[in-house]
Amino acid sequence: MSTTITEECINCGACEPECPNEAISEGEDIYVIDPNLCTECVGFHDYEACQAVCPVECCVPDPNNREEQPTLLARAIKIHPATAFPDVLPANLTRFSNPNRQKAAGE
């Protein structure tokens, strides 16, 4: 599922350059994530890069935008047509299929 930024955001900007998909931008009040570009970092990291650097850990899964790994990988391929992604990714890479992912990433 797409990651979203909550109102706890302190507008530090640390997450923006970390996103492999340039999905994060400065919004009117807080930083925002474009769900059409967020892949939960599938294809690049086995953790959410935004959440990993966020000082207040306010980059969280959007329960209203649940997507499975094939959808997220397909999006990554579409956004990065010149990048060679592995044919097979480890199973349960996403928070949708593995709610413990955040814990496993050591966050």
Would you tell me which residues interact with ligand SF4 (CB under 6 A)? 3, 5, 9-15, 18-21, 23-24, 31, 33, 38-41, 48-50, 53-56, 58-59
Residue 5 CB, nearest distance to ligand SF4 (Å)? 4
CB of 4 to ligand SF4, least distance (A): 9
Q: What backbone phi and psi angles, to 5 degrees, belong to 18?
A: -85, -20
Residue 87 buriedness (CB in 10 A; 0-12 / 13-18 / 19+): exposed
Q: Minimum CB separation from ligand SF4 for residue 89, in Å?
A: 15
Q: What is the token pair recorded at 45?
A: 């990291």
Task: Give 11 or 84: the residue with its C-beta nearer to ligand SF4.
Answer: 11
Angle at 74 between CA 52 and CA 28, to 5 degrees: 50
